[in-house]
């Protein structure tokens, strides 16, 4: 609860006024049975029409004032709940945005989306109802009992018994439903994960004819959630009929007992009616209180899940103080670096030594799963090396702030990621103050300026979600332009030319080699044609260095590189023989 209170402290006025106005409404409501009793005993029995009219005016006044106080209370409660939930969502979103890749993988995008949306909505509803009812309902229950005591002590014991029975039922229902609500939320996260994966990979599913299997899995998970909700709902559904049974039984007993007291003259008709009214008020408020407890039970499970994210350290990477620098011209150095992903015992990279100087180019080649992208993650400090040290411009990369690494290292990822907006807004993501001249220069370097000039709106041409209104090659070149616009000192192409034809790729590489600020460039690919003209080439296999040198050296000395080359260009010995 401290997590929620921390947000409600920012809205103290609303959080205090909401229950206070509800209390004021409750006071007016408790006076109604007494007024009705006086109308019966003093007005109707005495046939005093003037008195009846005056008391009827009092009832109207109590009703009007009650409505005004109720609306005021609900306004303040809604404002406090909505503002607190908005602040909560904003803070959690900012917190999640600082997560490293390992942290994101630990929770999963589907779990984070569920908690930022569904769970916060439940907490918001819980706060709203709590501020409206947490004082009002107990106050009316207790107040009605006290008012009943002032009328008849013995009759009030019947009401006390009803209150005890209802409290027992509410406690049992709450204890039975809380674990169920938590399981349902976990199941919803799993369902969201399946749906998001299916939507992202719909083409793959169609290509492999997996629609029926995925539909079957979706229906099975949905049916499982339905069964869990049905079980929890069945327990929750017993609350209203059981409480109604107890209270109505109490009313019958109270009516019978009151009739006996009226017959002997120790209780008036109006007082008997007042007792029944107070018991009815208790029924209504206890039903509200029971539903509030069920709502708070759900909200409490959501609060626990939100606290899990809020209390999670957003970046488990290590940061060190490192003042040493190097003037030997090194851009990137790996010194006996090994790396394992969290909860994985095998090394994704093993004993890696690597030097890339300023202005030089490095090609990295290897099969799928050889560790190419893992090496990139270490250079941009998405993860810490398990063993060894990664240096960036002569300084331990752990000594850099993330903003510095982002400024120094530009990465064009394997999957071209564009965001809904315009060409201009996507380019400005890398450099907020970029001029149009800088944008066009980046577009020309990325070999896409001609295509953008033909678009309606040019730089303000719309980009749909994921860039679906651009071809695969255009998306890749736009992401390349976005990386180039901030002029990084280290430029990494992570297999980001796979959708380009050979002519466009050659022109792009020529433009990159001629960049005026002379960055250190890393080309990662599975095609030898993409890396063969680099200053040096690193060959990876199963996370280990199988070769390191120029294209000609590797053809002679590295069997893995020669096999890759021959698979793509034909048998080298036959070509040499033919040339001879």
DSSP-derived secondary structure for 462-489: EE-GGGTTS-HHHHHHHHHHHHHTT--S
Please state the rounded mean pLDDT for residues 137-153: 82
Which one, of 40, 285, 28, lies nearest residue 151 by Cα? 40
What are the distances in angstroms from CA 270 to CA 40, 154, 281?
5, 17, 16
**Taking 70 as the threshold, does the pLDDT of residue 575 lie above it?**
no
Tell me whether residue 284 is exposed, middle or buried, using C-beta atoms within 10 angstroms of its C-beta: 0 to 12, 13 to 18, 19 or more.
middle
pTM: 0.67
Extract the tokens encoding 41. 């005993």
Q: Please give the residue that has the higher pLDDT: either 264 or 389.
A: 389
**Paired tokens of 322:** 């490192």
Does pLDDT of 574 surpass 60?
no
Instruction: Calculate the average pLDDT of the chain.
Output: 85
Separation CA 237–CA 230 (nearest Å): 10
| Mean pLDDT value across residues 107-126 | 85
Q: How confident is the model at residue 580 (pLDDT cuts 50, 70, 90)?
A: very low
Residue 577 pLDDT = 47
Do the beta carbons of residue 73 and residue 25 sit within 8 Å? yes
Distance CA 103, CA 91 (A): 17
Total length of the chain? 580
Stretch among 217-226, 483-492, 493-502 having the lowest mean pLDDT: 493-502
Nearest-5° Cα angle at 97, 403 to 15: 125
C-alpha dihedral over 427, 430, 436, 438, to 10 degrees?
-120
Nearest to 235 by CA among 173, 170, 300: 173
Domains and CATH numbers, the chain: 2-193+235-310 (1.20.1560.10), 330-579 (3.40.50.300)
Higher pLDDT, 360 or 578: 360
pLDDT in tens, 433-449: 899 999 999 999 999 99
Q: CA dist 358 to 404, 485, 490, 520, Å?
A: 17, 19, 8, 5
Task: Pick 336 or 260 by higher pLDDT.
Answer: 336
Cβ atoms of 70 and 22 within 8 Å: the answer is yes
Per-residue pLDDT at 579: 39
3-state secondary structure of 354: strand
Can you tell me the mean pLDDT for 143-153?
Answer: 82
Least-confidence region, from 141-155, 351-365, 408-422, 507-521: 141-155
User: How many Cβ atoms sit within 10 Å of the Cβ of residue 198?
Assistant: 17
Q: How confident is the model over 326-353, as a mean pLDDT?
A: 83
Neighbour-count burial of 59, counting CB atoms closer than 10 A to its CB (0-12 exposed, 13-18 middle, 19+ buried): middle
- Tell me the pLDDT band of 490, cut-offs 50, 70 and 90: very high
Q: Residues 332, 354: contact at Cβ < 8 Å?
A: yes
Q: Would you state the pLDDT for residue 578?
A: 44
CA dihedral (266, 268, 274, 280) in degrees, to 10, reads: 70
């Amino acid at each position: 609860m401290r997590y929620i209170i921390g947000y409600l402290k920012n809205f103290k006025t609303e959080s205090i006024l909401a229950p206070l106005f509800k209390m004021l409404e409750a006071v007016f409501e408790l006076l109604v049975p007494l007024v009705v009793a006086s109308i019966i005993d003093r007005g109707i029995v005495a046939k005093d029409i003037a008195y009846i009219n005056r008391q009827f005016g009092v009832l109207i006044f109590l009703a009007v004032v009650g409505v005004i106080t109720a609306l005021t209370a609900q306004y303040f409660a809604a404002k406090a709940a909505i503002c607190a939930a908005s602040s909560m969502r904003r803070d959690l979103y900012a917190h999640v945005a600082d997560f490293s890749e390992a942290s994101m993988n630990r929770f999963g995008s589907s779990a984070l989306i569920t908690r930022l949306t569904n769970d916060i909505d439940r907490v918001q509803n819980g706060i709203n109802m709590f501020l409206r009812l947490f004082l009002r309902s107990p106050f009316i229950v207790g107040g009605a009992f006290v008012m009943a005591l002032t009328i008849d002590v013995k009759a009030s014991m019947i009401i006390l018994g009803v209150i005890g029975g209802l409290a027992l039922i509410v406690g049992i229902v709450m204890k039975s439903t809380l674990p169920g609500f938590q399981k349902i939320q976990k199941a919803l996260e799993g369902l969201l994960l399946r749906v998001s994966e299916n939507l992202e990979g719909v083409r793959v599913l169609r290509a492999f004819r997996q629609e029926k299997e995925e539909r079957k899995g979706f229906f099975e998970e949905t049916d499982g959630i339905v069964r869990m909700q049905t079980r929890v709902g069945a327990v929750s559904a017993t609350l209203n009929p059981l409480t109604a049974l107890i209270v109505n039984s109490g009313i019958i007993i109270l009516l019978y007992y009151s009739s006996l007291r009226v017959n002997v003259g120790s209780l008036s008709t109006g007082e008997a009616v007042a007792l029944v009214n107070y018991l009815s008020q208790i029924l209504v408020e206890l039903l509200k209180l029971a539903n509030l407890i069920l709502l708070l039970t759900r909200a409490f499970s959501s609060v626990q899940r939100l606290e899990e994210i809020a209390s999670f350290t957003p970046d488990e990477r290590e940061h060190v103080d490192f003042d040493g620098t190097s003037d030997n011209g090194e851009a990137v150095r790996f010194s006996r670096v090994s790396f394992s992903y969290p909860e994985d015992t095998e090394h994704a990279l093993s004993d890696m030594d690597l030097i890339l100087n300023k202005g030089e180019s490095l090609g990295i080649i290897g099969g799928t799963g050889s560790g190419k992208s893992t090496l990139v993650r270490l250079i941009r400090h998405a993860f810490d090396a398990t063993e060894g040290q990664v240096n960036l411009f002569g300084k331990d990369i752990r000594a850099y702030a993330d903003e510095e690494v982002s400024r120094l290292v530009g990465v064009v990822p394997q999957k071209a990621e564009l965001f809904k907006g315009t060409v201009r807004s996507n380019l400005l993501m890398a450099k907020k103050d970029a001029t149009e001249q800088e944008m066009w220069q980046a577009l020309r370097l990325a070999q896409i300026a001609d295509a953008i000039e033909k678009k309606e709106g040019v730089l303000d041409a719309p980009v749909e979600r994921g860039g679906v209104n651009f071809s695969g090659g255009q998306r890749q070149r736009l992401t390349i332009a976005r990386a180039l616009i901030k002029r990084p000192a280290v430029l990494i192409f992570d297999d980001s030319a796979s959708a380009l034809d050979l002519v466009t790729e050659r022109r792009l590489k020529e433009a990159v080699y001629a960049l005026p600020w002379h960055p250190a460039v890393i080309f990662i690919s599975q095609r030898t044609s993409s890396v063969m003209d680099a200053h040096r080439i690193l060959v990876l296999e199963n996370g280990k260095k199988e070769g390191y040198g120029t294209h000609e050296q590797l053809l002679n000395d590295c069997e893995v590189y020669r096999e890759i080359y021959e698979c793509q260009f034909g048998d080298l010995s036959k070509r040499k023989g033919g040339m001879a």
